[in-house]
Structure 1
Amino acid sequence: MVVDLESVSEATSGAVGSLLSTTILYPLDTCKSKFQAEVRAQGQQKYRHLSDVLWEAVSKRQIMSLYQGLGTKNLQSFVSQFIYFYSYSYFKRVYSQRTGSKSIGTKANLLIAAAAGACTSVLTQPLDTASSRMQTSEFGESKGLWKTLTGGAWGDAFDGLEISLLLTSNPAIQYTVFDQLKQRLLEQKTAKAENGSSSPVVLSAFMAFLLGAASKSVATVITYPAIRCKVMIQAADDSKGKETKKPVRRTRKTILGVVCDIWRKEGMLGFFKGLHAQILKTVLSSALLLMIKEKISATTWILILAIRRTLFLTKGKLKSP
C-alpha cells in the first residue's frame, strides 16, 4: 500500500492546528453549546444571553466544568480534522491526476470537500455526539466518554448523523472560499516575486487568519439553522427529576421534532438563536486552525521526509549482509 506523504502532511498539520484551537476556545464552545441547546417559550428562558451560561458556572463554583468533555472534544477534533484534511488532499490529488489539470474549479472543489466531509462525519459521529452531550450536561454532572456512549442504545451514538452529512456543505464552502482567496493572493505575490522581489511566496499568519475568518463566516451564516438543530438533537437530556432508581431511557430526537419545537416556541428567529456565539467561536477556531496549519505544514513535511529517509536507510542496512 502506497501512502500519500503529502496528504499525511496536510492531515497532520490540520489535526494539530485543530487540537490547539479547540483547547484554547473550549470554554466559549461550552457556553455556546449550552446556549444553543435550550429551547423554551418566551419568558421562561434560563439563558437570555451567552454570558448567562458563564455566570451560572461562576455562581455554582463550577468554573472547571466549562472544560467538561475537553478530552473527548480534542480526540474528536484531532481525528476528524486528520481524516478530513487527508481525504481532502487525497481527493484533490486524484482529481488532478485523472484530469491532468493542476487547477481545480469551484464546483469540483465543492464536491471534493463535501466527499471528504461525508467520510469524516460517518467515521467520527459517535465522538461528536458524546462531546455534545458532555458539554450540554449540567455543570459538574458530565459523564465519561464510555458512560456517555453506552447510556442508551448504540444507535443513539449516531444522533444527528443526517444533519452532519448535510453540514458537509459547511467546510466545503469554507475551504473552497479559503483556497480560492489564498490562490489569488499567492498568484499576486508570485507576480511580484518575478519582478525582482526576493521574498518567499508564502501566506502570512495574519493573512491566513483573515482569510480563515472570512471563509468561515460565510459558511456559518448559510448553514446555521442546521447547526442549531444538530446541537439540540445531540444535547444531553435535562437532568431534573433523574434521581429515580430506574434509569430513564433517553428520548431520541428527530429533525422534524426539533424543527417543530423551535418554530412553536421561538418562531423563525429561533433558528438563528446563538448565531453571534457560533460565528465568534467558529470564526476564531477556524482562523486559528488555518493559521497554525499554514505555519507548521512546512515543518511537518520536512519531518515526514526525514522519517521516511531514516526508515529507508535503516531498511537498507538490515538487508545488507
Structure 2
Amino acid sequence: MGAGDLESISEATSGAIGAIVSTTILYPLDTCKTKYQAELQAHGHRKYRNITDVLLEALSTGRVLSLYQGLGTKNLHSFIGQFVYFYGYSYFKRLYLDRSGARSIGTKANLVIAAAAGACTAIVTQPLDTASLRMQTSAFGKSKSLWKTLTEGSLSEAFDGLGISLLLTSNPAIQYTVFDQLKQRLLKDQQTSKGKDSSPVVLSAFSAFLLGALSKTIATIITFPAIRCKVMIQVADTSDDGEKKPKRKPPKTLLGVACAILRKEGILGFFKGIEAQILKTVLSSALLLMIKEKISASTWVLVLGLSRLLVVNQRRLKNS
C-alpha cells in the first residue's frame, strides 16, 4: 500500500470520526429541524410553528429520549458517508495532481473533484439517509428499527431523493472548496510571517471552526430550497396518529414537491427552517472539520503504524 493510499485512508478515518462526534452532539437539534421541515402546511394550519414546538411536544409527552430516535442509523450514515467522501476527495485530488503535474489544485478542479466525491457518497449511503430521515420524522416513540425501515418498502423507495442528493453534491463541493481556499490562504500568510525556514504551520482549532462555519453557511444558503424538497420526498407518508399509511402514494418527484410547497406555503416555503438548518449544519460541519484537523496527525501515525505492522507480519509469514 503506497503512501498516497495511506494518506487517503487517514483523511477518510479522521473525517468519519469527526462526523460521528458532531452528529451525536447535535442530534436532538437535527431531529427537531427535520420534523419541522417535513411538515407541509395545509389549509393555513400547521402543527409546528417553529422547531421549539417540536421540543415542547417531546417534553410534554415525556418522549425526550425520542429526540434520539434513529441516532444509530444517522451515525452509521455519517461514518460511511464521511469516510467515502474524504477518501474519494483525497484520492481524486491526489490523482489529479499526479496526472496534471500541478503543484496545487485550482478552484474549478476542486469543485469537480468535490462533486465527484459527493456523488460517490450519495449513491453508497442513500438508503441509510432515507431510513434515518423516516425514523426521525416518525411519531415520538414509534420509530421502527433500521431493518424494518429499509425493508417495509421497495428497493426503489430506499433510494428516494437520490436525484436531489446528487444535485446537492454541490453543497459539500462549495463548502470544502471555500474551506480549502481560505485555509491555504490563511496558512500561507502565517507561514510567511514566521519565515520560510520555520516549521510548517498548523490550522488552529478556533480557525478551523470559523472557516468551517463560514464555508457551510455559504453552501447552505445557496442549496437550501433543494434541501427542503429532498426532506419532503424522503419522509414517510404518515397519518395523524403517526402510523405509516398502508398504501404508499405515487413516488414523489422534485417538480411535484416543489409545486406543492409553492401552492400551500408560497415562495418562502422553500426556505422554511433555514435558520435551524444553518445553525445545525454550520455547527456540525465546523465541529467535524475542527475535530478532523486536530486528530488527523494522530490518525496518520496510527494508520502508518498499522500499515508497517502488516508489512512486518507479511514478511514473517513469507520467511516461515
TM-score range, shorter chain: over 0.9
Within 5 Å, which residues of 2 pair with 1:40-79?
40-41=41-42, 43-79=44-80
Once residues 135 and 243 of structure 1 are traced to their aligned partners in structure 2, the CA distance between those partners, rounded to angstroms, is: 13
Once residues 149 and 75 of structure 2 are traced to their aligned partners in structure 1, the CA distance between those partners, rounded to angstroms, is: 16
Q: Deviations over 1:251-292 (max 9, x none)?
A: 432111110110001100000000000000000000000000
Once residues 108 and 200 of structure 1 are traced to their aligned partners in structure 2, the CA distance between those partners, rounded to angstroms, is: 25
Within 5 Å, which residues of 2 pair with 1:61-210?
61-194=62-195, 200-210=200-210
**1:291 corresponds to 2:290:** yes
Within 5 Å, which residues of 2 pair with 1:222-301?
222-240=222-240, 247-249=246-248, 251-301=250-300
Letter aligned with residue 163 of structure 2: E
Q: 1:311 to 1:237 in 2, by over 3 A?
A: same
Tell me the equivalent position of 1:13: 14
Secondary structure of the residue that 2:248 maps to in structure 1? coil
**Deviation, structure 1 residue 236:** 2.1
Once residues 37 and 164 of structure 2 are traced to their aligned partners in structure 1, the CA distance between those partners, rounded to angstroms, is: 16
Secondary structure of the residue that 2:247 maps to in structure 1? coil
User: What is the TM-score of this pair, normalised by structure 1?
Assistant: 0.95
Q: How many residues align?
A: 319
User: In the alignment, is the contact (CA less than 8 A) between 1:79 and 1:124 conserved in 2?
Assistant: yes
Once residues 221 and 199 of structure 1 are traced to their aligned partners in structure 2, the CA distance between those partners, rounded to angstroms, is: 38
User: In the alignment, is the contact (CA less than 8 A) between 2:12 and 2:82 conserved in 1?
Assistant: yes
**Deviation, structure 1 residue 242:** 7.4
User: In the alignment, is the contact (CA less than 8 A) between 1:137 and 1:237 conserved in 2?
Assistant: no
User: In the alignment, is the contact (CA less than 8 A) between 1:152 and 1:250 conserved in 2?
Assistant: no
Secondary structure of the residue that 1:184 maps to in structure 2? helix
Letter aligned with residue 68 of structure 1: Q
Structure 2 spans left out of the alignment, 5+ residues: none
Letter aligned with residue 280 of structure 1: L
User: In the alignment, is the contact (CA less than 8 A) between 1:33 and 1:231 conserved in 2?
Assistant: yes
Tell me the equivalent position of 1:314: 313
Secondary structure of the residue that 1:61 maps to in structure 2? coil
User: In the alignment, is the contact (CA less than 8 A) between 2:138 and 2:242 conserved in 1?
Assistant: no
**Deviation, structure 1 residue 200:** 4.9
Secondary structure of the residue that 1:85 maps to in structure 2? helix
User: In the alignment, is the contact (CA less than 8 A) between 1:62 and 1:139 conserved in 2?
Assistant: yes
User: In the alignment, is the contact (CA less than 8 A) between 1:68 and 1:142 conserved in 2?
Assistant: yes
**Deviation, structure 1 residue 215:** 0.1
Letter aligned with residue 251 of structure 2: R
Q: What value does the CA root-mean-square deviation take over the aligned residues?
A: 1.8
Instruction: Using the aligned pairs only, state the percent identity.
Output: 70
Q: Deviations over 1:68-113 (max 9, x none)?
A: 0000000000000000000000000000001101211100000000
Tell me the equivalent position of 2:28: 27
Q: Deviations over 1:202-251 (max 9, x none)?
A: 0000000000000000000000000000011111222336779x933354
**Deviation, structure 1 residue 317:** 2.2
Once residues 27 and 283 of structure 2 are traced to their aligned partners in structure 1, the CA distance between those partners, rounded to angstroms, is: 11
User: In the alignment, is the contact (CA less than 8 A) between 1:34 and 1:135 conserved in 2?
Assistant: yes
**1:216 corresponds to 2:216:** yes
Q: Deviations over 1:122-158 (max 9, x none)?
A: 1110000000100011111110111111111111000
- More off after superposition, 247-256 vs 150-159: 247-256
User: In the alignment, is the contact (CA less than 8 A) between 2:139 and 2:242 conserved in 1?
Assistant: no
Once residues 243 and 286 of structure 2 are traced to their aligned partners in structure 1, the CA distance between those partners, rounded to angstroms, is: 43
User: In the alignment, is the contact (CA less than 8 A) between 2:69 and 2:136 conserved in 1?
Assistant: yes
Letter aligned with residue 216 of structure 2: K
Q: Deviations over 1:166-211 (max 9, x none)?
A: 0000000000000000000110111122167x57500000000000
Once residues 231 and 311 of structure 1 are traced to their aligned partners in structure 2, the CA distance between those partners, rounded to angstroms, is: 44
